[in-house]
């Protein structure tokens, strides 16, 4: 195998810088142009490396990215969960680094394929990371760092996988341009800068192409005025649950205050009020006092409230994370109830509890396992059909798409960021922006502590709230029907791109076998 493009110490430095560049592309920094740079640096560092070195360089990039990106996971649970999660996520970039080293003969043989091969390998890595283990953890996908980028519009055509592919394609073009430029300079000639100029032009055309993608091509249905109530919590941290009566009271009182402002004419009358996840951790279906408090708020404002509630059952020792519609005058509408379909492992339920306890007794903080719902979060509130997902579910392509296929006109993300920080909340809001563009739907995020806000179908944010504050924001939204191309094709772009990644790996294997194959001395040749 030829030596790497750069010496190993330089490759190590490039891998670290790659991780930092990728990190800075995500909120709260938002320097999205650095994402292709990070991709390019990792691709160059791993090219022509031994497989073990490629994996190590990828792991180094992953650790540099994920350790600070996921730092909010250690705020209230100690260092161990953060360290383990960061190491696990970095492991997938180690697989990517290994694959990048493996396909080196392919891109050496066909240099024009380098950008596309880089793109499909990133999609394949994310497809694996988004699903394994225990349902995966899609945080830190390249697409989620492009909320202010022209490439965000590509989500309307192929969702997050297509946006990731475009970012990595741009990174592959950068590294290919640099490689061709080095070769041209060694060969001399007046046109030695032409390859770099061509690749730079290709990147600019890709960005310009993103701007040309039409968004919000779905048809208008009607308008609806929605209020988000961000009641806040007495104290941030894991003990927010111990303050559950105060949290419920905060949301009730803020809603009643909104009703007073509506009556006084200082606020527009909403058609619907949305409370966040965990706004009632007292089961209002079993606790008459909690139910009465929510009914008082709904009766005062005179419109339905989508309440984020923790419900007991269905079996003893189990609980459910739910969004339940509470109507004025009649209370809970159990026909319009969504139970979270993807509880978070080791946070809302503990898989392999006995083994996990050997690693850390922190798992015993999860005393009752949350059970998963079976139906998509399609809730007919009357004024609008809502596509409800809860907290981290917004990161999973299929969970959001299922609500739109089921008839959702407005995307709703109920979340509780009281155990995290503002960086985590803004990373989550970036995902909401992508989902709005992907499905051509207005969207909103309602958080207990912030950041809450509304998103238009073209990804623009309005009325974003501060963090760790009480706030009520009201806005008229345009409802839409129909489906974008991304909604119609679903998982197909990811399947195709991940399949091409497998094909690249297989193609590289064929070239390696041909290169390394040596006939035995005196071996007979087939006749």
Q: Which DSSP symbol is given to 326?
A: E
Backbone angles phi, psi at 480, to 5 degrees: -130, 155
Query: Which residue in this structure is represented by tokens 């202010």?
Result: 148
Beta bridge partners of 378: 387
- Say how many CA atoms lie within 13 Å of 2 toward its Cβ: 10
Q: Please check whether residue 102 is in contact with residue 51, taking contact to mean a CB–CB distance below 8 angstroms.
A: yes
Tell me the two tokens of residue 481.
């029907």
**Which residue, 482, 423, 484, 435, is CA-closest to 461?**
435
| Angle at CA of residue 40, ends 57 and 140, nearest 5° | 70
Which of 340, 393, 424, 494 is the catalytic position?
A: 340
Backbone angles phi, psi at 336, to 5 degrees: -120, 70
Whether 253 is catalytic is no
Whether 393 is catalytic is no
Tell me the two tokens of residue 104.
């080196």
Tell me the two tokens of residue 389.
């997902």
Which of 277, 348, 424, 438 is the catalytic position?
A: 277
- Say how many CA atoms lie within 13 Å of 369 toward its Cβ: 13
Beta bridge partners of 479: 222
Query: Which residue in this structure is represented by tokens 């031994």?
Result: 50
Task: Give the C-alpha separation, 361 to 75, whole Å.
Answer: 17
In the chain the first and final C-alpha atoms are separated, in Å, by 32
R_g over Cα of the chain: 25
**Which residue, 215, 167, 159, is CA-closest to 491?**
159
Tell me the two tokens of residue 109.
């043989």
Q: For residue 332, what are the CA distances in angstroms to 295, 309, 511?
A: 8, 11, 64
Question: For residue 315, what are the contacts with CB-CB under 8 A and spacing of at least 6?
Answer: 371
Query: Which residue in this structure is represented by tokens 């950068």?
Result: 174
Question: For residue 104, what are the contacts with CB-CB under 8 A and spacing of at least 6?
Answer: 1, 47, 48, 49, 508
Q: Which DSSP symbol is given to 152?
A: G
Q: Please check whether residue 306 is in contact with residue 389, taking contact to mean a CB–CB distance below 8 angstroms.
A: no
Which of 126, 199, 348, 391 is the catalytic position?
A: 391
**Which residue, 409, 422, 197, 387, is CA-closest to 306?**
387
**Cβ count near 521 (within 10 Å):** 5
Q: Please check whether residue 310 is in contact with residue 280, taking contact to mean a CB–CB distance below 8 angstroms.
A: yes
Q: Please check whether residue 27 is in contact with residue 427, taking contact to mean a CB–CB distance below 8 angstroms.
A: yes
Whether 199 is catalytic is no
The residues annotated as belonging to the active site are 277, 340, 391
């Amino acid at each position: 195998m030829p030596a790497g493009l750069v010496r190993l110490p330089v490759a190590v430095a490039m891998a670290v810088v790659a991780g930092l560049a990728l990190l800075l592309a995500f909120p709260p920094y938002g320097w999205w142009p650095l994402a292709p740079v990070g991709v390019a640096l990792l691709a160059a560092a791993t090219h022509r490396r031994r497989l073990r070195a490629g994996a190590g360089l990828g792991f180094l990039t992953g650790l540099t990215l994920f350790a600070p990106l996921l730092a909010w996971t250690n705020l209230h649970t100690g260092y161990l969960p953060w360290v383990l999660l960061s190491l696990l996520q970095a492991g997938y970039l180690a697989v990517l680094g290994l694959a990048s080293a493996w396909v080196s003969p392919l891109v050496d043989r066909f240099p024009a394929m380098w950008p596309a091969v880089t793109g499909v390998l990133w999609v394949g890595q994310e497809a694996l990371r988004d699903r394994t283990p225990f349902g995966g953890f899609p945080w830190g996908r390249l697409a989620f760092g492009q909320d202010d980028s022209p490439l965000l519009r590509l989500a309307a055509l192929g969702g997050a996988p297509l946006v990731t592919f475009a970012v990595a394609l741009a990174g592959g073009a950068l590294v290919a341009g640099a490689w061709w430029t080095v070769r041209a300079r060694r060969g001399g000639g007046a046109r030695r800068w032409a390859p770099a100029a061509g690749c730079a032009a290709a990147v600019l055309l890709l960005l310009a192409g993103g701007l040309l993608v039409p968004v919000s091509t779905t048809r208008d249905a009607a308008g609806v005025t929605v209020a988000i109530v961000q009641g806040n919590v007495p104290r941030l941290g894991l003990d927010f649950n111990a303050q559950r009566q105060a949290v419920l009271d905060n949301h009730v009182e803020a809603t009643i205050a909104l009703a007073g402002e509506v009556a006084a004419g200082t606020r527009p009358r909403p058609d619907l009020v949305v409370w966040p996840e965990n706004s009632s951790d007292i089961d209002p279906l079993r606790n008459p006092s909690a139910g009465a408090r929510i009914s008082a708020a709904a009766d005062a404002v005179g419109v339905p409230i989508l309440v984020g509630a923790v419900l007991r059952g269905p079996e003893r020792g189990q609980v459910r994370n739910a969004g339940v519609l509470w109507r004025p005058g009649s209370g809970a509408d159990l026909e319009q109830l969504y139970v979270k379909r993807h509880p978070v492992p080791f946070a809302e339920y503990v898989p392999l509890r006995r083994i996990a306890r050997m690693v850390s007794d922190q798992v015993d903080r999860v005393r009752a396992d949350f059970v998963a719902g079976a139906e998509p979060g399609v809730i007919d509130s009357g004024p609008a059909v809502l596509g409800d997902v809860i907290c981290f579910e917004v990161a999973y392509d299929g969970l959001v798409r299922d609500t739109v296929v089921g008839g959702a006109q407005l995307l709703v993300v109920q979340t509780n960021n009281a155990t995290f920080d503002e960086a985590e909340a803004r990373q989550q809001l970036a995902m909401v922006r992508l989902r709005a563009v992907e499905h051509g739907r207005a969207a909103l995020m309602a958080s207990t502590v912030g950041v809450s806000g509304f998103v238009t179908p073209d990804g623009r944010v309005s009325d974003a709230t501060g963090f760790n504050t009480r706030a009520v924001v009201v806005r008229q939204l345009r409802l839409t029907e129909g489906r974008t191309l991304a909604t119609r094709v679903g998982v197909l772009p990811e399947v195709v791109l991940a399949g091409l990644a497998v094909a690249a790996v297989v193609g590289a294997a064929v070239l390696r076998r041909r290169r390394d194959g040596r006939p035995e001395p005196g071996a007979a040749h087939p006749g």
